[in-house]
Structure 1
Amino acid sequence: MAGNGRKTSPSPTGQDANERAYAAMIDRAKALIPQLRERAARTEELRRLPPETERDLHDAGLFRIVQPKRVGGYELDYVALVDCADVIGQADASVAWNFANLASHHWMLGMFDKRAQDLVWNKDVNALIASSFIFPAGRARKVDGGYVLRGSWPFSSGVDSSEWNMLASVVSSDDEADGIEYRIFLLNKCDYKILDTWNATGLRGTGSNDVEVKDAFVAEAMTLAVSDLDGGPTPGSAVNPNPLYALPVFSLFPYVLSGVALGNAQACLDDYVDIARHRASTYNRAKIGDLQSTQIKIAEASAKIDAARLIMRSTCIGAMADARRGHVPDITEKTRSRRDGAYSVNLCTEAVSLLFSASGARGLFTSGVLQRQFRDAHAINSHIAFNFDAAGTNYGRVALGLPSENLTL
């Protein structure tokens, strides 16, 4: 793995071609690090991906790592999302965030009805798809042939670069006895309005703007029920039989983005170690690297990052193994995945905060990368998927025999 001196092993697929494709994607991601680092300030200034960065990711094939092979994608194991985001995050967390988000939507589209897949990919296999999976933000009602959707969704990362958007909504019913249905709606950009709202402290370059929909008709085939994403065959399995497209989506949701926190923390550690090797204290000229406190903080931060990487990768590799043998995790296993996803990112945030504090006043300068890594770490951690209070509470409820409060699991 770039930054820590160890090589990341590919997901065990038993297929040489897949392993070579996996290694190639990691190498291509690593090759982008220098230019992405150089563009980081401009990315923040633009508040979205620069066109040349988006082009670099396309040219490297990185957006298509979990896209079905039948349309030319690489169909790599799920852990590739963590590993590639880890590498890109060592350059710029905003770029890694958009990469992971947009790449994961090719994976999710592979679970939709073939008609939805064909409508998108027959026109452009490289088409980018944004999302906002905030169900209460929308309201949909069933009509003949589909649904009518309206709402206003925040945090649609990469939306300005995208031709399509996956928007989550509650489906309303005249009969309360029908209960609540959660559904995902795939809309073309002509059916929604982008609101320029993204002025944020961290992840400034993700362009995570709001989108607004006013009574758009969405055909039935362009929607997907959350209940179809529990694990096991999906509507897309008829044309995409790889177990990758039978994973339980929302229990693994944190791992779409957790690699971003991992890469950001690894870069922070690597940069801190490099500075500590050469820097002398402003006040007494003592070498920073000779201080025991510096050595201990490096050890603690690296242990947190290494532990986070093990948690993230083992969860994703285990999920693929389960899917291959046809095992659908129960609610205890699903809440454990959500717990571990939040916990591992929290470890990364703690590591960055520890190093930022150890850097003293020099870490405050906007000319350095540490302040951006600190801001990005806390912006990542603010995502609901990484809120350990929420994930931990739900895990504890299920462990105690109480019903899960997460209705998407």
Structure 2
Amino acid sequence: MPDVVRKPQAGVRSERDDAYAAMMVRAKALVPQLRDRSSRTEELRRLPSETERDLHDAGLFRIVQPKRAGGSELDYVALVDFADTIALADASVAWNLANLSSHHWMLGMFDRRAQDLVWNQDADALIASSFVFPAGRANKVDGGYVLRGRWPFSSGVDSSAWNMLAGVVSSDDEADGIEYRIFLLNRSDYRIIDTWNAAGLRGTGSNDVEVDGVFVAEAMTLAVAALAGGPTPGSAVNPNALYALPVFSLFPYVLSGVALGNAQACLDDYIDVARHRASTYNRAKLGDLQSTQIKIAEASAKIDAARLIMRSTCIQAMADARAGRIPDMATKTRLRRDGAFAVNLCTEAVSLLFSASGARGLSTTGALQRQFRDAQAINSHIAFNFDAQGTNYGRVALGLPSENLTL
């Protein structure tokens, strides 16, 4: 992959650029050992303890955590870039890295009391999530909320001390309607249910969690309406524009880099094999076949286009936030559309290369079958479902209201 796409923005170097570059060196150094460990990660169905330690030691979980808590506070594009790098080794590890890192970013938008409660105890504490709003129901009570529900797909939950769970707040007065809110709970307040047996992203430990009528203080919650772009409750202590980004509009880019690195690894492996391998059928060198050359060109074009979409979107979002620009609904639905489209390009690239690899791709001991399974699993996330995201973009473009109430 061309190194230029991993560099910070062009121009005069800053302290942030140097921090980014140093962190990227550490991330790249982990790739060989994480790849060697990928089979064990799948067997465990969660991150091995040594992988968690490697990521902690490198500071990778804290790339977008506020500096006041000891984090690196890198620009939002770091979520794409570091997931891209780690997914060269293992998409499951990259998925948990990006997912868990992003929750430090989101916690930076909560009331300071929530931030201090978590980070004063342990600034390295991992925070899981499940943003499936219909899964949780909350009732407003004096001083906070009572929350109950069962949430699926809480990636990295076994490694986490906290969890951000989405829910719908109901009111006794139907005229008040409903409110979408995020609740931050300590591990002692929920039960983990071992449900994660999946064909792809097997090592993410995306188990269910259950909450049965737990009180959550007001300061440990955050209204989705406060995450639409602009100052958040956390902005008083974290004034960086990073913590004023529109969270759910940019949600696809938290995880899109995983698809990117997984596709790049698949392409790199395919090129390496084609350079040296002869066809089993007629002993022709695969690299001399026009069909091989065309497939490399097509797959690489899809991956490069996806990378350009992801990175430029995140860089522009930071520029807008620094200028105090809050995206309108048309822009927000475009962000979701483009995030899904970019990941779909990565999935198409992997599928193309898997098909071109013939029987070699069927070996359960090789990386290709894992890359294919992981690509399909990534693409199955609702954020990357182009039918859903494309439909909503089209609705808004036609003057109809958005169906996504979190934007």
Shift of 1:15: 5.9
Shift of 1:175: 1.3
The change in CA–CA distance for 1:20 and 1:189 in structure 2 (over 3 A counts) is: same
Output one character per residue of 1:3-51: Cα deviation in whole Å (capped at 9) or x when no partner: 4454522146966110000111111110000000000000000000000
Shift of 1:176: 1.4
Q: 1:39 corresponds to which letter in structure 2?
A: R
Q: 2:272 corresponds to which letter in structure 1?
A: D
SS across alignment from 2:94: helix
**Which of these residues, 142, 154, 157, is aligned with residue 156 of structure 1?**
154
Q: What does residue range 108-257 of structure 1 map to in structure 2 within 5 Å?
A: 108-257=106-255
The change in CA–CA distance for 1:321 and 1:158 in structure 2 (over 3 A counts) is: same
CA distance in 2, matches of 1:248, 1:103: 17
**Which of these residues, 379, 386, 389, is aligned with residue 387 of structure 2?**
389
CA distance in 1, matches of 2:398, 2:130: 32
Output one character per residue of 1:109-131: Cα deviation in whole Å (capped at 9) or x when no partner: 00000000000000000000000
Shift of 1:365: 0.2
Is 1:21 the counterpart of 2:53? The answer is no
Output one character per residue of 1:249-289: Cα deviation in whole Å (capped at 9) or x when no partner: 00000000000000000000000000000111111101111
Question: Residue 137 of structure 1 contacts residue 152 of structure 1 at CA under 8 Å; is this kept in 2?
Answer: yes
Shift of 1:89: 0.5
Give the equivalent residue in structure 1 for 2:84. 86
Please list every run of 5 or more consecutive structure 1 residues that lacks an aligned counterpart in the other structure. none
CA distance in 2, matches of 1:39, 1:9: 27
Q: 2:379 corresponds to which letter in structure 1?
A: N
Q: 2:224 corresponds to which letter in structure 1?
A: V
| Cα RMSD for the two superposed structures | 0.9
Question: Residue 11 of structure 1 contacts residue 80 of structure 1 at CA under 8 Å; is this kept in 2?
Answer: no
Shift of 1:325: 0.3
CA distance in 1, matches of 2:11, 2:217: 36
Give the equivalent residue in structure 1 for 2:63. 65
**TM-score of the two chains, using structure 2 as the length reference:** 0.99
The change in CA–CA distance for 1:15 and 1:125 in structure 2 (over 3 A counts) is: farther
CA distance in 2, matches of 1:24, 1:393: 41
Q: What does residue range 23-38 of structure 1 map to in structure 2 within 5 Å?
A: 23-38=21-36
Q: What does residue range 350-361 of structure 1 map to in structure 2 within 5 Å?
A: 350-361=348-359
Question: Residue 254 of structure 1 contacts residue 341 of structure 1 at CA under 8 Å; is this kept in 2?
Answer: yes
Percent identity reads 83
Please list every run of 5 or more consecutive structure 2 residues that lacks an aligned counterpart in the other structure. none
Give the equivalent residue in structure 2 for 1:316. 314
CA distance in 2, matches of 1:332, 1:282: 52
**TM-score of the two chains, using structure 1 as the length reference:** 0.98
Q: What does residue range 307-386 of structure 1 map to in structure 2 within 5 Å?
A: 307-386=305-384
Q: 1:363 corresponds to which letter in structure 2?
A: G
SS across alignment from 1:59: helix
SS across alignment from 2:92: helix
SS across alignment from 1:323: helix
SS across alignment from 1:198: coil
Q: 1:206 corresponds to which letter in structure 2?
A: T
CA distance in 1, matches of 2:11, 2:283: 53
The change in CA–CA distance for 1:13 and 1:175 in structure 2 (over 3 A counts) is: farther
Give the equivalent residue in structure 2 for 1:8. 6
Q: 2:32 corresponds to which letter in structure 1?
A: P
CA distance in 2, matches of 1:142, 1:112: 18
SS across alignment from 1:305: helix
Runs of 4+ in structure 1 off by over 6 angstroms are: none
SS across alignment from 2:149: strand
SS across alignment from 1:252: coil
Shift of 1:183: 0.1
Give the equivalent residue in structure 2 for 1:403. 401
SS across alignment from 1:120: helix
Q: 1:103 corresponds to which letter in structure 2?
A: S
SS across alignment from 1:174: coil
CA distance in 2, matches of 1:311, 1:26: 20
Question: Residue 309 of structure 1 contacts residue 344 of structure 1 at CA under 8 Å; is this kept in 2?
Answer: yes
